[in-house]
């Protein structure tokens, strides 16, 4: 193991392997309930694990936090089994055969275990090795990946199992938790460029679904800017060209953690929030270099480092400006280098269209979100979560149309990522998979074998609203 620490400066060379790049058009699925478990998606397995269900998720064992708190001695082993079985090589093969080119991977901050305050926070340990293994399988299949900070520290929205901790105590929007999120970002950026298994990662998403009312998210605009700065700082250290920026520190080492430490302590290019996040990522990356067997962390000139193949910056990914209201910050203002924007649209939760087939199709066929975002600089836009669920009893005939119409609408932007790749099929789950599982929808024929195609390209023709000049 000690040989990992050797620092010989080697000439960088290029390897022939799948490299990260944003697809021309995204046809994707979420890997939900894998590394951030949501009990509603696998009710039988959750009950067998020892979890509970309740109307208000903070009232029972209905999140990873509550589970780890209730079962501190067995949680790691139980979740290790879940991580090993929920997303497998067979799933990767099915997604590859279905033409899926992108996955969005929901992650909690606790996957970087040193960020967790074990005195007050409770989460399973060991997920990072499963992420590494899963990314390797995806890379081998030619499927690109987005690392989605689905559950940032402190909880970003109340009473949601997808935050990892069902609670009304929302504390993400604080200096302490913004800092932890930036350390997480520095760590994931470094892994994406240095670990060969992360070689198909092309984007990192700052935070999933913040509170919609911008009055309740103080400091979020500054966090967006610091998030981008952290990514670009890591990339500049690696010698990856960043538009309009050059590093003001002379580095004489190929040990990435040494270079990171030197930059954090001497650069004038970045603010204190950014440099402190870089410094705090150093011991984490040293530990992960050994734990995950990543020699490129200690010698980034080794040809195995993914960044040698493309020399391209990652895409900094945000929920779009129109996700929030009450004068939100615009993530486009944070842009340095490539950036992408994410919008989520679920008709089943109400507030979008009247609950009947004609209203749904009229709404989706006249959707203007791509155009509205572009007018504010939030482009390219993709739809990172959507599904087939409705507020009414949908017939199979309608779901064929509903799948087509949504795919057409979202493909006006950069593309789409369905929620979810699968859900549990069990007596407890009932018919959940019919409208929430991409793979089940594919079996039932709602989705075309080729995700770029639709059954009826004219599905929207009767519903288009034309306006006279």
Mean pLDDT across 203-223: 98
* pLDDT in the model for residue 309: 79
What confidence tens digit (pLDDT) does each residue in 139-187 have? 999 999 999 999 999 999 999 999 999 999 999 999 999 999 999 999 9
The radius of gyration of the chain from alpha carbons, rounded to an integer in Å, stands at: 22
Distance between CA atoms of residues 230 and 208, nearest Å: 18
- Under a CB-based contact definition with an 8 Å cutoff, are residues 201 and 147 in contact? yes
Nearest to 98 by CA among 146, 141, 147: 141
- Under a CB-based contact definition with an 8 Å cutoff, are residues 57 and 73 in contact? no
- Under a CB-based contact definition with an 8 Å cutoff, are residues 145 and 202 in contact? yes
At 2, the pLDDT band (50, 70, 90 cuts) reads very low
Question: In the chain, what is the straight-line distance between the N-terminal and C-terminal CA atoms, in Å?
Answer: 71
- Under a CB-based contact definition with an 8 Å cutoff, are residues 163 and 169 in contact? no
Query: Burial letters for 39-69: b for 16+ Cβ neighbours within 10 Å, e otherwise?
Result: bbbbbebbeebebeeeeebbebbbbbbbbbe
* pLDDT in the model for residue 6: 31
Nearest to 325 by CA among 233, 173, 211: 211
Distance between CA atoms of residues 5 and 296, nearest Å: 10
Nearest to 235 by CA among 226, 247, 227: 247
Model pTM score: 0.95
DSSP alpha helix (H) spans, 119-255: 127-140, 175-194, 220-237
- Under a CB-based contact definition with an 8 Å cutoff, are residues 172 and 207 in contact? yes
What is the chain's mean pLDDT, rounded?
A: 94
- Under a CB-based contact definition with an 8 Å cutoff, are residues 157 and 211 in contact? yes
What confidence tens digit (pLDDT) does each residue in 308-352 have? 877 799 999 999 999 999 999 999 999 999 999 999 999 999 999
Query: Burial letters for 239-259: b for 16+ Cβ neighbours within 10 Å, e otherwise?
Result: ebebeebebeeebebbbbbbb
User: DSSP for 106-134?
Assistant: EEEGGGSGGGS-TTT----S-HHHHHHHH
Distance between CA atoms of residues 127 and 150, nearest Å: 14
Mean pLDDT across 104-110: 99
Measured torsion, CA atoms of residues 445, 415, 208, 186, in degrees rounded to the nearest 10? 130
What confidence tens digit (pLDDT) does each residue in 184-197 have? 999 999 999 999 99
The DSSP secondary-structure symbol of 314 reads P
What confidence tens digit (pLDDT) does each residue in 39-77 have? 999 999 999 999 999 999 999 999 999 999 999 999 999
């Amino acid at each position: 193991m000690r040989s990992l620490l050797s620092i010989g400066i080697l000439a960088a060379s290029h390897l022939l392997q799948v490299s990260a790049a944003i697809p021309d058009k995204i046809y994707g699925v979420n890997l939900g309930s894998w590394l951030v478990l949501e009990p509603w998606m696998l009710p039988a397995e959750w009950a067998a694990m020892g979890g509970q269900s309740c109307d208000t998720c903070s009232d029972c064992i209905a999140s990873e936090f509550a589970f780890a708190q209730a079962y501190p001695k067995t949680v790691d082993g139980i979740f290790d089994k879940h991580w090993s079985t929920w997303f497998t090589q067979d799933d990767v093969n099915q997604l590859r055969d279905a033409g899926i080119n992108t996955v969005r991977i929901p992650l909690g901050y606790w996957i970087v275990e040193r960020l967790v305050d074990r005195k007050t926070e409770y989460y399973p340990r060991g997920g990072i090795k499963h992420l590494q293994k899963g990314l390797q399988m995806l890379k081998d299949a030619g499927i690109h990946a987005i690392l989605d900070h689905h559950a940032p520290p402190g909880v970003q929205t109340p009473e949601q199992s997808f935050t990892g901790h069902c609670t009304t105590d929302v504390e993400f929007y604080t200096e302490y938790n913004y800092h932890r999120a930036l350390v997480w970002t520095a760590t994931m950026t470094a892994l994406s460029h240095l670990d060969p298994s992360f070689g198909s990662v092309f984007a990192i998403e700052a935070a999933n679904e913040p509170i919609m009312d911008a009055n309740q998210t103080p400091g979020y605009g500054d966090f967006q800017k610091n998030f981008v700065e952290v990514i670009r700082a890591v990339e500049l250290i690696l010698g990856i060209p960043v538009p309009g920026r050059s590093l003001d520190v002379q580095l004489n080492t190929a040990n990435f953690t040494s270079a990171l430490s030197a930059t954090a302590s001497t650069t004038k290019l970045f603010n204190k929030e950014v440099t402190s996040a870089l410094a705090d990522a150093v011991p984490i990356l040293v530990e992960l270099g050994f734990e995950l067997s990543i020699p490129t962390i200690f010698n980034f000139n080794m040809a195995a480092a993914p960044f040698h193949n493309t020399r391209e910056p990652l895409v900094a990914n945000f929920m779009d400006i129109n996700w929030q209201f009450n004068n939100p910050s615009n993530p486009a203002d944070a842009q340095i280098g490539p950036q992408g924007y994410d919008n989520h649209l679920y008709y089943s939760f109400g507030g979008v269209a009247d609950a009947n087939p004609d209203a749904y199709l009229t709404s989706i066929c006249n959707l203007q979100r791509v155009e509205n975002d572009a007018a504010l600089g939030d482009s390219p836009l993709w739809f990172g979560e959507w599904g087939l669920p409705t507020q009414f009893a949908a017939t199979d005939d309608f779901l064929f149309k509903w799948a087509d119409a949504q795919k057409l609408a979202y493909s006006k932007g950069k593309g789409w990522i369905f929620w979810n790749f699968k859900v549990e099929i069990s007596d407890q789950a009932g018919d959940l998979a019919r409208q929430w599982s991409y793979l089940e929808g594919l079996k039932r024929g709602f989705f075309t074998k080729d995700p770029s195609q639709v059954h009826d390209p004219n599905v929207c023709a009767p519903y288009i609203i034309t306006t006279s000049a």
